Structure 1
Amino acid sequence: MKVLVDVDRCEGFASCVLSAPDVFDLDERSGVAVLLVEEPPDAVLADVQDAVRSCPVRAISLA
């Protein structure tokens, strides 16, 4: 599983960081989500899926 973040759509709500803090963070300058782990382990799959569902602007996807 590969996580993708569309930085042009991200508005910095940080719901992804709350759902999967080991995978996402917010850039301090731009305020948009950044990936800490592009291909996270299966152990955090449920958290990443929650982050995808909880993003209000649908800026996160799985490939």
Structure 2
Amino acid sequence: MRNFNPEELFYNSVVVDLETTGLFAGRDQILQLCAIKPTPRGPVVFNRYFYAEENPAYWVNHIDPESL
């Protein structure tokens, strides 16, 4: 049995965040996709905004139209 190594788990993980205009797959759109991979030299970050005609969830995600 292997011993649990928190540092190994930390460096072998990726955190993903997805911001959308709502919760309905057939109607709502993706606004932002972000992924963070920790490394010993610092995080590697992927962050991309996507165009959407409107953002009815602005009061939740605070992504303004200028960012898209």
- Give the structure with the higher percent helix: 1
TM-score (norm 2): 0.30
Higher strand share: 2
Higher RCO by CA contacts (8 Å cutoff, separation 6 or greater): 1
Between structure 1 and structure 2, the one with the greater Rg is: 2
